[in-house]
Copies of this chain bind each other. A is one copy, B any other.
Amino acid sequence: MAEPKSWQARIGEATDALAQSFVESISYDRRIYRQDIAGSIAHATMLEKAGLLSAVERDAIIEGLKDIGRDIEAGTFVFDESLEDIHMVVEKALTDRIGEPGRKLHTARSRNDQVALDLSLWIRDAALEMGKKLHVLCRAHVSMAERSGDIVMPSYTHLQRAQPIAAGAECLAWCTMFWRDADRCASAGEFAGVNDIPLGSGAIAGSSLPIDSSITAQLLGYSQPPLSSIEQTASRDQGLEFLFSLAMASMHLSRWAEQWIIYSTTEFSFIKTADRYTTGSSMMPQKRNPDMLELIRGRCATVYGDLVSLLTLCKGLPIGYNRDLQEDKRLIFRAFDTVSACVIMSAAIVNATNFVRENIEPTLERGFLDATSLAEYLVTKGTPFRTAHHVVGSLVARCEREGKTALAQLQLPDFAAAANASGADPSVIGQDVYDALGSRNVVKRYRSPGAGGGEPFKQRLAEWKARLGC
């Protein structure tokens, strides 16, 4: 005969089927079984030290729990779906296996602090895993930066050609973003710096039993007992922080995907991705659609939705545990799975993509990308920046009027005339001005740390390789 639900001794009427399916979470919270078991093992260890379990009982519990864990890993464990959640499933299985001691495991514990602990442990693991995946993506970008060699391409602001850069420098920009995201994930494991353990909070008010949550804290890698049993069972701050860090990664993934979709157009043709990551059209057989990139961009939008969902859910709640919180896991798992798949897919795509030198370089001089370089040349000759800026503006205007497509097509007297007209000293402009013109020249001249080419780029590339071990 099925054991009655723990609280059913009092409630006479049977819960109807609709209600049962409405409240169950075992269909998705089974995913935290490993954390649930780890938490219970630590709890049992502590209970023994507190004198609430004998050593024999503790050992029986721990062995029983490990056994259940092994069976789940092996796929041989049968989940009793009539029990609502992973906590009851594990506890019931334990009691079935080891008898009476199993009935002591829940001493000084409630599902309210148990689930808060399990989720916290899961997030710590997931944040670690996500950090590793993001580093894989970082490595892919670094590797692309390296194999891009000396390809020079335009950089864009306002999606307008701005300054020339080493193609690899853009890869490092993406790498930087995802590195920050990994960092953000890592710190989402920290309960806003305080890192107190949820377990030991009971249902809301703690316990009158002589438990010592500094023991469980230490066993499970937290720094201290709950600051407030009420707060710990009422809050999902850590879950929200993790979701936010996933949303940030999604934002960066989406920007990158968008950028590469643009680079994949016929008009840009800056990159080529291996065919296995593009698809065709049922009606237009010639197309190579960047579907993977589009799906990444699209799916990343749904992570925002998941963040909004949990923020909204939490906002309306009075203090203490409310059942609404059960939805947290569904949202966090979903966002994690989405971002995981997108990150891995992205790394695969980056590894299968190259800049196409022969498409980029022929048009490299379009857009007067060396205008800033020329202004800086004038600055080095003592011209105030605003004046230099004005001089260059008039030279570009002159090129446009005269149908010249590059500043380097101007003659020395042209430069002098412009300087003169703007009140700058024309005599400072010498033959070396041409060393500051042309994209290839410009890129070599970058000197500021973190810049888009030249030595600063080489230095950053070396740093990233060292940092990421690639």
Q: Is A266 an interface residue (CB 8 A)?
A: yes
Closest to A180 in B: B192
Q: Chain B residues with Cβ under 8 A from A265's Cβ?
A: 156, 159-161, 267-268
Stretch at the interface among A32-40, A74-82, A118-126, A247-255: A247-255
Which A188-211 residues have C-beta < 8 A from chain B? 191-194, 196, 200-211
Q: Chain B residues with Cβ under 8 A from A258's Cβ?
A: 316-318
Establish whether residues B169 and A230, one from each chain, have CB atoms under 8 Å apart when the complex forms: yes
Establish whether residues A320 and B155, one from each chain, have CB atoms under 8 Å apart when the complex forms: yes
Type the 1/0 row for A70-97, where 1 means its CB is closer than 8 Å to any CB of B: 0000000000000000000000000100
Number of chain A residues close to chain B: CB under 8 A: 202
Establish whether residues A324 and B308, one from each chain, have CB atoms under 8 Å apart when the complex forms: no
Most chain B beta carbons < 10 A, residue from A110, A161, A240, A316: A316
Establish whether residues B10 and A280, one from each chain, have CB atoms under 8 Å apart when the complex forms: yes
Q: CA of A231 to CA of B384 in the docked complex: distance in angstroms? A: 28
Stretch at the interface among A15-23, A408-416, A426-434: A15-23
B227, B251, B449: the one within 8 Å of A214 (CB) = B449
B162, B229, B310, B366: the one within 8 Å of A320 (CB) = B162
Q: Chain B residues with Cβ under 8 A from A183's Cβ?
A: 192-194
Give the shortest distance, in Å, between A186 (CB) and chain B (any CB).
8
Q: Chain B residues with Cβ under 8 A from A174's Cβ?
A: 231, 319
Q: Is A271 an interface residue (CB 8 A)?
A: no
Establish whether residues B173 and A228, one from each chain, have CB atoms under 8 Å apart when the complex forms: yes
Besides A16-B348, A208-B442, A285-B392, 19 new A-B residue pairs in contact (Cβ under 8 A), listed by A number: A10-B394, A15-B279, A22-B295, A100-B384, A179-B194, A180-B193, A187-B193, A202-B372, A203-B281, A206-B446, A206-B456, A213-B450, A240-B251, A265-B267, A284-B371, A285-B389, A297-B324, A301-B313, A302-B327
